[in-house]
């Protein structure tokens, strides 16, 4: 693996910052402190101090170290006080800036941070991302970014606002920052492979963890602890996990699919209301069909991959070297910071929202047994799927006690 040199993506100098600041000032975007000369220190905050959030924070610190930027962890936020304080303590954050509860994200966003890392369960992402953009923060947010169509559209809208404000937005669809994938994407974009005519994508593996509700525990606490079991929190595992593979399909094909028809079911899961497996024929238009399959059942054969069939091409292209320091999980933070420093902030909101919507479209197809059209999720306001809103919503969690959906059940496709 090639270490970043000052010539490529890492190693921005003060002169680079000054230049970038001038570019941005001219564009009216000079308020983003990461561009600004003389403020080399990055102030970061974390919303969602669980497994991935803590990992993303470590990745962010490693990225800053690699590119020679000072960094301070200014604040943490979590639904649970112990988690906010536990992560905060590890990174020297004073207890008064370790926020807990439903409005912890608002308190964190009111601090002096430049970048916020968002890694709660996906159902909260649209509200938290929108608030972060309105507060003028650069964002790294984990995938997926919504659980229903209005949520995915809200991410797209907030992403557009981020563009207007000159903010950087990178999503945890880390394959887009991974050497092998980026090189392949370059070949496709430059005509070295021909066009994609079909393919298959898979995330099939074992069951994830689950949690039981404790005696006397509120439904909100239970759902937040057991979020990978409830469609209302995770979107189902087709959205939560398989989104990575669907994202590669959208990226390589260059557009989202037009419809999905599929089937799935639940036989072995404990708790919640998700399916165990989904199998979908996605129609990407222009005669391109991709088979998508995902399964979470122990003791079954599996695999995580994307395979595409190409029409073929004789064109030879020189694929440039693509930096990847510390794996894609660190590189995505390097790319975020460097894009802002260079005055060309990355904005991945639309990509990740479309890939999340692709997975949501597949889930609605398997839950109902009906062909679901992309336009009914993004355009046709009269469609019943356009306004499909999973409840309790993120706002419901802020308003007061919520009631969990029925446990140990699932959707039944078809009509009696």
Positions that interact with ligand NAD (CB under 6 A):
47-53, 77-80, 83, 104-105, 119-122, 124, 142-143, 172, 174, 224, 227, 240
In terms of CB distance, is 104 or 162 closer to ligand NAD?
Answer: 104
Q: For residue 332, what are the CA distances in angstroms to 254, 350, 357?
A: 21, 16, 22
Q: CA Rg, the chain, in Å?
A: 21
Closest contact distance (angstroms) between CB of 116 and ligand NAD is: 12
Task: Report the candidate in 345, 328, 323 with the shortest Cα–Cα distance to residue 11.
Answer: 323
Closest contact distance (angstroms) between CB of 165 and ligand NAD is: 23
Closest contact distance (angstroms) between CB of 210 and ligand NAD is: 12
In terms of CB distance, is 48 or 272 closer to ligand NAD?
Answer: 48
Closest contact distance (angstroms) between CB of 47 and ligand NAD is: 6
In terms of CB distance, is 55 or 198 closer to ligand NAD?
Answer: 55
- The CB-nearest residue to ligand NAD is 50
Annotate 225-239 with DSSP letters as a single string: HTGGG-HHHH--HHH
Closest contact distance (angstroms) between CB of 304 and ligand NAD is: 11
For residues 114 and 108, what is the distance between their CA atoms, to the nearest angstrom? 11
Task: Report the candidate in 269, 261, 268, 204 with the shortest Cα–Cα distance to residue 230.
Answer: 269
Closest contact distance (angstroms) between CB of 101 and ligand NAD is: 8
The number of helix segments (H) and strand segments (E) in the chain equals 15, 12
In terms of CB distance, is 45 or 50 closer to ligand NAD?
Answer: 50
Question: Tokens in use for 61?
Answer: 């610190």
In terms of CB distance, is 24 or 349 closer to ligand NAD?
Answer: 349
Task: Report the candidate in 124, 237, 241, 274 with the shortest Cα–Cα distance to residue 173.
Answer: 241
Closest contact distance (angstroms) between CB of 83 and ligand NAD is: 4
In terms of CB distance, is 62 or 196 closer to ligand NAD?
Answer: 62
In terms of CB distance, is 14 or 212 closer to ligand NAD?
Answer: 212
Q: For residue 416, what are the CA distances in angstroms to 22, 37, 264, 412, 413?
A: 65, 66, 18, 10, 10
In terms of CB distance, is 24 or 77 closer to ligand NAD?
Answer: 77
Strand bridging mode 71-78 / 42-47:
parallel
Ranges of H-type helices in 166-308: 179-189, 219-225, 231-234, 237-240, 243-253
Closest contact distance (angstroms) between CB of 333 and ligand NAD is: 12
In terms of CB distance, is 124 or 129 closer to ligand NAD?
Answer: 124
Q: Is the separation of the CB atoms in 18 and 8 below 8 Å?
A: no
Task: Report the candidate in 242, 252, 250, 243 with the shortest Cα–Cα distance to residue 182.
Answer: 252
Q: Which residues pair with 307 in a beta bridge?
A: 200
Largest CA distance in the chain: 69
Side-chain-facing half-sphere of 116: CA atoms under 13 Å: 30
Which residue matches tokens 């440039």? Answer: 320
Closest contact distance (angstroms) between CB of 409 and ligand NAD is: 22
């Amino acid at each position: 693996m090639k270490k970043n040199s000052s010539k490529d993506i890492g190693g921005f100098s003060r002169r680079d910052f000054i230049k970038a600041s001038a570019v941005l000032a001219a564009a009216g975007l000079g308020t983003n402190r990461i561009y600004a000369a003389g403020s080399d220190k990055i102030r970061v905050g974390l919303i969602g101090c669980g497994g991935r959030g803590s990992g993303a924070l470590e990745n962010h610190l490693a990225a800053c170290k690699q590119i020679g930027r000072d960094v301070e962890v200014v604040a943490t936020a979590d639904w649970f006080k112990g988690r906010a304080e536990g992560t905060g303590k590890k990174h020297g954050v004073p207890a008064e800036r370790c926020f807990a509860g439903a409005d912890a994200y608002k308190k964190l966003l009111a601090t002096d941070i430049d970048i916020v890392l968002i890694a709660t369960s996906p159902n909260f992402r649209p509200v938290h991302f929108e608030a972060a953009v309105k507060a003028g923060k650069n964002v790294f947010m984990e995938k997926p970014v919504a659980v229903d169509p209005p949520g995915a559209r809200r991410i797209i809208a907030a992403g557009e606002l981020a563009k207007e404000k000159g903010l950087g937005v990178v999503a945890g669809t880390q394959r887009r920052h991974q050497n092998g994938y980026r090189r392949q994407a370059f070949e496709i974009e430059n005509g070295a492979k021909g066009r994609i005519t079909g393919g298959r994508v898979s995330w099939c593996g074992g069951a994830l963890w689950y949690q039981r509700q404790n005696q006397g525990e509120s439904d909100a606490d239970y759902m937040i602890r057991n979020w990978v079991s409830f469609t209302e929190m995770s979107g189902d595992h087709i959205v939560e996990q398989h989104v990575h593979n669907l994202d590669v399909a959208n990226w390589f094909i260059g557009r989202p699919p037009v419809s999905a028809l599929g089937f799935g079911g639940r036989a072995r899961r404990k708790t919640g209301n998700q399916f165990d497996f989904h199998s979908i024929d996605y129609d990407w238009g222009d005669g391109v069909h991709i088979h998508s399959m995902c399964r979470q059942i122990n003791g079954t054969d599996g695999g995580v991959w994307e395979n595409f069939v190409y029409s073929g091409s004789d064109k030879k292209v020189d694929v440039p070297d693509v930096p990847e320091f510390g794996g894609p999980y660190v590189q995505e933070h390097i790319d975020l910071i460097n894009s802002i420093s260079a005055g060309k902030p990355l904005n991945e909101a639309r990509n990740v929202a479309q890939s999340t919507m692709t997975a949501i479209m597949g889930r609605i197809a398997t839950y109902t047994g009906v062909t679901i059209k992309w336009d009914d999720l993004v355009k046709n306001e009269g469609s019943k799927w356009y306004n499909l809103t999973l409840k309790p919503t993120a706002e419901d969690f802020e308003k007061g006690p919520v009631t969990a959906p029925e446990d140990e059940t699932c959707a039944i496709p078809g009509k009696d």
